[in-house]
Structure formats: C-alpha cells, structure tokens
Amino acid sequence: MTDRWGHSGTWEDMLRQTFKGADIKVEDLYLLEACDLEGLKERVTPRAIAAVLHANPSLERIWGTRYPEICTFIDKVTTEYGPASTRQELEFLSDKIVWEIAELLIYHRDPKFYEKRAAIDLDLKELTEEVNFDNRIVVDVGAGTGRIAFQAAPLSRWVFAVEPVTSFRRFMRERIRNERIKNVYVIDGLLSDIPLPDKFVDVLTTCQAFGWSLLDELQEIERVMRPGGIAIHFSGIPIDENGTIHPVITSDKWGYKCQQLSNQGALHCKYVRRF
Ligand SMILES: C[S@@+](CC[C@H](N)C(=O)[O-])C[C@H]1O[C@@H](n2cnc3c(N)ncnc32)[C@H](O)[C@@H]1O
C-alpha cells in the first residue's frame, strides 16, 4: 500500500528507513518540547505510549511542565491501558514509540544527522523567480537547520529564522558564528505565533512547515506581511488531479495559488500568495 506522499507501509516504516542507524532511545522522550507534545496524541499508538508512561512516570511531570495540556491525554491513556506485562513487551512498545516520532527525537539529538538524511533539495530559483530579495526582510518559519535562511541571506537585507526547537536554534547560531554571517537572526516562535511586528515582512517562506493549526497560522501570516509582500510555502505533498491538495489555503478567502515545482524531488509544489 502506498500513501498520499508516495511512501509504502506506515509512517513509522518510512521513518525507520529514512533515519536508519539513528542513535535514538526511549530516554530521548524527555527532550520533547511544547511544539512536539502538541501533536503527540495523533502520532503515537495509545497502547504503546501508555506502557512507556507507566514505565517512566516522571515523563508526565516533565511534559506537563512544558505543555500542560498533555496531562489530560496522559491521564486518559494510562487509565485505559495498563503497564506492559513483560520486559520484552515493554522493550517492543518503547521501540515502537521511539520510531513513530523518530524525526522529532532526531531534531533534538542531532540536527546535522537530520539535515543529512531528511533535507530536501530546494532550488533557490523557486524563490528568486517569484520575488527579488534585494534589500528585503525575509522570514523563514519552521527553519530547522536554516537551509532556506542561509541560502537567502546573501541576497537579502535581513533574514529571520523562526524555529521552536532549541537544538535547531543552537545549530543555526553556531553556523552564524562560525561563518560570521551578519544578517541572519534566529528566534524562537511558531507559525501561529511569529514574534515579529505587524506588517514587517517582505518575504515569508516555509518548507514542509505549515498546518499544525492552519487557520491561526494563515491569520498570523496576514498580520506580519507588508502590503506588497509575498508568502511562499513549499510542500512535500503531491498536488492532485485538480491541481491542488489544499482546499483551505487555495480558497478565495486565503487566496494562495498552487504551482507544481519544476524539479520533481521530494518537494512537490509551492503555494504562493501576494499581499
Ligand atoms: C519537516 S521540518 C522542516 C525544516 C526546514 N524548513 C527544512 O526544510 O529543512 C519542520 C520544522 O518545523 C518546526 N516546527 C514544529 N512545529 C512548528 C510550528 N508550530 N510552527 C513553526 N515551526 C514548527 C520543526 O521544529 C522543524 O524544524
């Protein structure tokens, strides 16, 4: 069976293939931050996460401090499912959880490994053919290791790389220091909560980084964009026979146009809106 992203098997299988050899363990679950915990319940098998939580009770305290809303889910799942019945079962279920959310753990453990295995070729032409960067303020949200931000920097006035995961921010700041880059600023934030003023941004980009809370994100983008600005979202999801996969953002209300990318790698299309 092949899913809509063209992967056969489950998402977990795909992560096991993509990140084969990654050094991730059940203890790394302690590294998860609020942005990871927000979507956790949609990602994990309830029986497996319950077994892991029973075996590691201090996870609730740590996760609950970072993202209090997770406690309702933890209470529900640990009430419904008991502990694993044997050590082997616990090992099996722990391994399952680790691989169901492997990329999140790798973000925290090893940004370089993530970049090597999962970074998607993005031809900067896909951006520069839409907009001239000269003297513009560019914001890349969900910047990860900064692939777009660092490519855009030599062309732009300032680049803000907005990223909620601490280890990615540290990774980008090290690169800025090592390469003495003068115009890239790394900041903590979410697409639904961009820590920049109203009407500030000339060019906003995301690459495989939208849709956690889509309507809040679209509103937030409208808030920060300058009149005359442009927002471009690169997506790894193929467009369908109607020429779109995203009825919400391509609706009249939000007004994005969907375009197939010429270079058919793992990225399939871009959504472009001029403000
Ligand atoms: C699939 S990675 C893509 C990283 C980078 N854009 C790239 O193409 O290499 C998704 C990124 O979005 C970040 N992220 C997670 N939740 C987010 C949110 N609510 N708003 C913005 N970024 C988020 C993750 O930490 C991660 O860096």
Please tell me if the CB atom of residue 111 comes closer than 6 angstroms to any atom of ligand 1.
no
Residue 119 beta carbon below 6 angstroms from any ligand 1 atom = yes
Q: What integer pLDDT is reported at residue 3 of this predicted model?
A: 47
pLDDT tens track for 168-218: 999 999 999 999 999 999 999 999 999 999 999 999 999 999 999 999 999
* Residue recorded with tokens 């979202």: 233
Which residue has its alpha carbon closest to ligand 1 atom 14? Answer: 142
The number of residues making up the chain comes to 275
Tell me if 171 CB under 6 Å of ligand 1.
no
Q: Measured in angstroms, how far is the CA atom of residue 254 from the centroid of ligand 1?
A: 21
Distance CA 98, CA 119 (A): 20
Spacing of C-alpha 139 from chain mean position? 15
Angle subtended at Cα 184 by Cα 181 and Cα 190, rounded to the nearest 5 degrees? 150
- Residue ranges of the chain with per-residue pLDDT less than 70: 1-9, 119-120, 240-244, 263-266
pLDDT at 4: 44
Adjacent-strand bridge partners of 257: 272
CATH code matching the domain that covers 119-274, chosen among 3.20.20.70, 1.10.580.10, 3.40.50.150, 1.10.10.10? 3.40.50.150
pLDDT at 150: 95
pTM of this prediction? Answer: 0.92
Mutate to test the pocket of ligand 1, among 11, 18, 163, 219 (most ligand atoms within 8 A of CB): 163
Nearest-Å Rg of the Cα atoms of the chain is 20
Q: What separation in Å is there between the alpha carbon of 86 and the centre of ligand 1?
A: 37
Q: Which atom of ligand 1 is nearest to the CA of 140?
A: 6
Provide the residue ranges of all domains of the chain, joining segments of one domain with +: 11-109, 119-274
Do 144 and 162 touch, CB atoms closer than 8 A?
no
